[in-house]
Structures are given as C-alpha cells and as structure tokens.
Amino acid sequence: MEDYRLAVICLLTLLSVCSAQYDVQVVGQSEPVVAIVGDDVILPCSLRTTIRTVGAVDESVEWQRPDLHPKEVHFYRSREDYNDDQNNNYRGRTSLFYEEMKNGNISLKLTGVKLSDAGNYTCFVPTLKSLDQKDSVQLVVASKPQVTIVGVEDLGVVLKCEAGGLMYRPEMTWLDSDGNILPDGPTETETDSEGHYTVRRHVTIQKTDNNTFTCRVQQQKINRKMETEIHVPDRMFPEPCQSWWRAWGFGGLTWGLFVLIVVVVVLYILNRKALLHWRRGELNEDPQINRTSLQNEIPLLNGNSNGNGNALSNGNRQNGFLPRDVEAGV
C-alpha cells in the first residue's frame, strides 16, 4: 500500500512538472514604453509560469520589429548573440541581460534612442514548448524640448520652445530661474497621422540676474516631465536707452514724414495761387501782352466752323473780352 501511494505521488509530481513546461508564457508589457531621444531604454519581456521560475539561458530569443526589413532587432541562440542579419539601424545598440536570463528575464536594452526607433516590437521565443511563444511591446519616442532664440524686439528677447512625438496631450510652460511661470503666448498644438502631439510656444523675456530660462513639457497621464534650460547672453538684450531711442526714432520718422508731406502740399497750393495772381496782374498792366495772346488765339478760333467762329466772336464782343482795336482788325 505504501508503495502504491509513493508511485501515485511520483506520477502526479511528474505530470505537474511536465504540464508546467507547457504553461510557460512570454510576457511583454501592455502599456507603452516612453523614451526621450538620446536616452537608454529597456523593453521588458520575460518567461513566466505559475509554478516555478523558468530560465531562458538555453532558449532562442528573437526581438523583431515587423514593420522593418529586415525585421531582426536582436537574435540570441545557444548562449550567444547572432546579429549578422540585424537591421542596420540597431547595430551596436542592443543587448540582453545575460546574467538574469536564468530567471527568465529576456528584456531588451536599447541605447541612444532615436525618433525612428518608435514602433511595435515582438519578443519571440521559438524554442519554447508553449502556445504563448511571443508578446509585443510598444515604444514611444518623444523629442526633448528644443529651445531656440528667435530674435530681439524692443521689449526683450524672443525664445521658442518645441517638442514633438508626444503620445499624450502635453502642457508646455516657460519658467525663470526662480521657478516662476512666465507670461507667454498661446501654445500651438499639432497632431500627426498616428495621433502624436507636437507643441511649441513663444515667450519674450527681459534681462535678469542670470538670464537663465527653462521650457517644461508635462504629460500628466503618464506623470512624465521634460525640461530644457537655456542661458541668454547679456549682449542679446537691447539696452534701455537703445529701446527708447529706437521707439522715438521710429515715431520721429513717421511724424517728420507727415510734416514734410503737409509742407509740400501747402507750398504747392501757395505757389499756384501766387502764379495765378501774377498772371492776372501782368495781363491787366500790359495790354500788349493781352493783345498778342488774343491774336495768337484768333486763328485757332477761326479754324472752327464759321458758325462756331462767329458765335464765339460775337459772344466775346458782347462780353467785352476783345479790345476795340482787335475788333476793328477782325
């Protein structure tokens, strides 16, 4: 009887161990992994079972990115890396945690993250005697806020902050060296075809003790914060007297141009009036000029039809426009 019980226990133990081999799962991460350009990132993946720890030292491990060609990101087999067919974009930037593989850790470490690294990765163990040989991990890459000096205005220096590749709606703020929020313009927000956000914001800053300013981007949903600091040299800021003279110079130029236009118009009007008065006085004082002028105009009048000429002549006589000696000549 004792032998029978011992045999049953051994059989059940053997069955549980064998079944555990088929209960092993490849488990990645359901939530996206968020990284910033230039950072090192870990794409988590492991072998798990409900009964015991499963080692992966003797397994084959393949990390792939299906949207690329070739799709191989990292390949491990027979306790060595085989990356001859690795995609060139990942050469020299991938590794596994070899000391932890005995505990089932097959996570991938990716160094020097680039914007082009964003995408879906597959963690695949083809040698595993299980239905769950693979799982996926999504990598989202965001660019660190880029701060640039746009230019100089009368009121100060204009700065621009821009960040892209953000998976969750961000908030962007400008801060001074004491952490005070600076008044700035509205945030410009754009989204690409994949729903990633790009934000930018301008601010006009004035000279301070250290001229250090910070652009902060926060994604509240994942509790992520990124900051970029900039120091603006003193020489970039306009001097107060320069701003005053620039403002007065522009205003004076505008006012001077207006006065010049008014003076030109007034002189033109006065000149016209003086010319008319001079002409009238000349005609009244020197009848010979009047006579000569009219004699030159009479042939032009006679060049019209007789009726029109007579009518003009008669009208002029009636109105007293022609001197008597001219009338006699006609």
Summarize pLDDT for 31-82 with one digit per residue, the tens. Answer: 999 898 999 999 999 998 876 778 899 999 999 999 999 999 999 998 999 9
Instruction: Give domain limits for the chain.
Output: 2-142, 146-236, 247-329
How many C-beta atoms lie closer than 10 Å to residue 113's C-beta? 19
Cα distances (Å, whole numbers) of residue 229 to 179, 186, 211, 216 = 12, 20, 11, 9
For 252-268, what is each residue's pLDDT tens digit?
677 778 888 988 888 87
**CATH number for the domain formed by residue range(s) 2-142:** 2.60.40.10
Does pLDDT of 199 surpass 80? yes
pLDDT at 215: 97
**CATH number for the domain formed by residue range(s) 146-236:** 2.60.40.10
Q: Look up the pTM and report it.
A: 0.59
> CA-to-CA distance for 146 and 161, rounded, in angstroms?
5
pLDDT at 154: 76
Kindly state the percentage of the chain with pLDDT values over 70. 72
Q: Output DSSP code: residue 93.
A: S
